Amino acid sequence: QVVIVDDIPKGPTGKLQRIGLAAKLGPQLKPDFVPPRNLVEERLAGMWAEVLKLERVVIYDNFFMLGGDSLLATQLVARIRAAFQVELALPIVFREPTLSVQALVIEEMVLSEIEAMSEDDIEQLTDHLLCAIARGQNLVEILLDIVPLRNRRFDHFGIAQIGCQFLLVSPP
- Please list, in sequence order, all residues whose beta carbon lies within 8 angstroms of the beta carbon of residue 41, skipping any fewer than 6 positions away: 59, 99, 100, 103
**pLDDT score at 149:** 34
Give the predicted TM-score (pTM) of the model: 0.59
**pLDDT score at 136:** 65
**pLDDT score at 97:** 95
Q: How confident is the model at residue 162 (pLDDT cuts 50, 70, 90)?
A: very low
Check whether 3 has a pLDDT greater than 90.
no
Kindly write down the DSSP assignment for every residue of 45-106, as one continuous string: HHHHHHHHT-S---TT-BTTTTT--HHHHHHHHHHHHHHH-----HHHHHHS-BHHHHHHHH
**pLDDT score at 80:** 92
Q: Report the half-sphere exposure of 67 (CA within 13 A, side-chain side).
A: 9
